[in-house]
């Protein structure tokens, strides 16, 4: 990364199973409340996994004009709602602004799967002539970024990252690169996903990566616990407003924190399983630290990928220890997924929001359901209860299918 521009975060937005905005999400996380429940929006009785972190109470008709929301798949609707909150939170004003210096960079991988499923059924029942002319422009992953840029007439850099579970974090890191290189002053960045539908759920079940603890939804996601048996699929959107420091100071913006480092690597190991050594994941963290010029000893907190999969949690623990050495035992590590499940491309976006809130407030949410720690997962995972802990530097990790690894390093803003 060039160091021509410093990058700060000035706005936060989220939509999740724990609420339709950031304050609701944050209070639920601090309270240790799970958003995981039985699937109710389609009949899931035949599936091995019948629970998910699904956003209930989200009504696009109450948020957007009919002509607008009916031409968006759910993943784009969630993203636009979270972006609106983030933009309002940042106090961004667009009148008179140079919109060619404002852009969007989002993570999304699955796209509009619900509309794909519906179109497939329509073809089987009535033939291809009945498929909506808006189908293709609704389902492609870049349409969430389009929806945000269109709504606010943002004419600058626009891109979509489709790297699975790492996409949200990569989108934020890549957006920071755009600002640092001088190609934009403001970037709306994060991740969105809405894939809790039969096709994707069936694929996850066949893959064997998801939990089957259906009788205990709130206890099903248990990162770093000895009895974990797979992740809980989820949906949502997490969006941040990133600005160059000069732009934020000029308009008198409230600054949450500074994004000081970013790293992304590949395992080149397996299309599902992580490299058990955690070495490539460790390299993503090392890259973020090197980018910032910050020693590993400065890190006080890691918001982990922490999926609740048997292999993944061990690999990440090893990665953290590979990077931080003995200092790994002095820091706090928690898993947002213990309460929200795995939101795929949206995970990095929402977990970045959570990491920012932790730096800004001095509070860390707990990792719930950590009743019997795995002996190979021997760090301080903030079990059961929120903790007050002021730290200067925090890492947020996302590690995805295909061995995609991404880490961002954030610094508490002290003015």
Are 121 and 166 in contact by the 8 Å Cβ rule? The answer is no
CA 48 to chain centre: 25
Q: Tell me the two tokens of residue 39.
A: 């699937």
Which entry of 247, 257, 342, 365 is annotated as an active-site residue?
342
When pLDDT is averaged across residues 122-126 and rounded to a whole number, the result is 94
State residue 1's pLDDT score: 39
pLDDT above 50: residue 65: yes
Q: Is the pLDDT of residue 412 over 50?
A: yes
Answer yes or no: is 259 within a domain: yes
In a domain, residue 267? The reply is yes
**pLDDT reported for residue 311:** 96
Q: What is the pLDDT of residues 367-384, one digit of tens each?
A: 999 999 999 999 999 999
Question: Does 3 have pLDDT greater than 70?
Answer: no
The confidence score (pLDDT) of residue 173 equals 98
Q: How far apart are alpha carbons 377 and 266 in whole angstroms?
A: 23
pLDDT digits 0-9 by tens, 256-280: 999 999 999 999 889 888 888 999 9
From 165, 205, 257, 377, the catalytic residue: 165
Split into its structural domains, the chain has a count of 1
Tell whether the model's pLDDT for residue 102 goes beyond 50: yes
Containing structural domain, residue 168: 1-401
Q: Which one from 205, 247, 257, 305 is the annotated catalytic residue?
A: 305
Q: Is the pLDDT of residue 2 over 50?
A: no
Confidence of residue 90 (pLDDT cuts 50, 70, 90): very high
- To the query of whether residue 41 is one of the catalytic residues in this protein, the response is no
Q: What is the mean pLDDT of residues 148-156?
A: 97
Report the pLDDT averaged over residues 37-41. 97
Mean of the per-residue pLDDT values of the chain: 96
User: Is 411 inside any structural domain?
Assistant: no
385 belongs to the catalytic site: no
Tell me the C-alpha to C-alpha distance, in Å, between residue 70 and each of 63, 67, 101.
Answer: 12, 6, 29
Tell me if 409 is assigned to some domain: no
Tell me how far CA of residue 158 lies from CA of 80, 89, 146, 183, 286, in angstroms: 15, 21, 8, 11, 28
- Per-residue pLDDT, averaged over 35-46, amounts to 97
Torsion of CA 232, 237, 238, 241, to 10 degrees: 170
Residue closest to 395 by CA, chosen among 311, 325, 301: 301
Domain-located, residue 113: yes
Question: Is 386 within a domain?
Answer: yes
What's 184's domain CATH number? 3.40.47.10
Q: Can you tell me the distance from the alpha carbon of 182 to that of 268, in angstroms, rounded to the nearest whole number?
A: 32
165 catalytic residue (yes or no): yes
In a domain, 408, yes or no: no
Q: Is residue 120 part of a domain?
A: yes
pLDDT tens track for 167-216: 999 999 999 999 999 999 999 999 999 999 999 999 999 999 999 999 99
What digits encode the pLDDT tens for the residues 320-370? Answer: 999 999 999 999 999 999 999 999 999 999 999 999 999 999 999 999 999
Give pLDDT, residue 151. Answer: 96
């Amino acid at each position: 990364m060039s160091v021509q521009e410093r990058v700060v975060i000035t706005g936060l937005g989220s939509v999740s199973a724990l609420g339709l905005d950031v304050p609701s999400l944050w209070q639920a996380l601090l309270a240790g409340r799970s958003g995981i429940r039985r699937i109710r929006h389609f009949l899931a009785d035949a599936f091995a996994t019948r629970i998910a972190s699904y956003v209930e109470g989200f009504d696009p008709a109450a948020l957007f004009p009919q002509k607008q929301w009916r031409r968006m798949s759910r993943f784009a609707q969630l993203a636009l709602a979270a972006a609106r909150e983030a933009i309002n939170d940042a106090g961004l004003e667009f009148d008179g602004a140079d919109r060619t210096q404002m852009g969007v960079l989002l993570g999304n991988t699955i796209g509009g799967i619900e509309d794909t499923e519906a179109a497939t059924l329509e073809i089987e029942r009535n033939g291809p002539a009945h498929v909506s002319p808006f189908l293709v422009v609704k389902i492609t992953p870049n349409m969430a970024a389009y929806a945000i840029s269109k709504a606010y007439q943002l004419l600058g850099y626009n891109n979509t990252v489709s790297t699975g579970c790492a996409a949200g974090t990569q989108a934020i890191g890549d957006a920071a690169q755009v600002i640092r290189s001088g190609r934009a002053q403001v970037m709306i960045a994060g991740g969105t996903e809405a894939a809790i539908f039969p096709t994707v759920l069936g694929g996850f079940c066949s893959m064997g990566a998801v939990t089957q603890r259906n009788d205990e939804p709130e206890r099903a996601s248990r990162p770093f616990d000895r009895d974990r048996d797979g992740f809980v699929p989820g949906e949502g959107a997490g969006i941040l407003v990133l600005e160059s420091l000069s732009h934020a100071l000029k308009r008198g913006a409230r600054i949450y924190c500074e994004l000081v480092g970013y790293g992304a690597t590949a395992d080149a190991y397996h299309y599902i399983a992580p490299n058990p050594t955690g070495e490539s994941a460790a390299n993503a963290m090392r890259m973020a630290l090197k980018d910032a010029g910050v020693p590993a000893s400065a890190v006080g907190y890691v918001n982990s990928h922490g999926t609740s999969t048997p292999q993944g949690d061990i690999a990440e623990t090893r990665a953290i220890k590979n990077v931080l050495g003995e200092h790994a035992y002095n820091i706090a590590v928690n898993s947002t997924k213990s309460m929200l499940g795995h939101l795929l491309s949206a995970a990095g976006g929402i977990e970045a929001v959570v990491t920012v809130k932790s730096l800004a407030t001095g509070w860390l949410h707990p990792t719930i359901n950590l009743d019997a720690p795995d002996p190979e997962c021997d760090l301080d995972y903030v079990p059961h209860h929120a903790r007050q802990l002021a730290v200067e530097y925090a890492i947020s990790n996302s590690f995805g299918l295909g061995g995609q690894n991404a880490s961002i390093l954030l610094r508490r803003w002290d003015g």
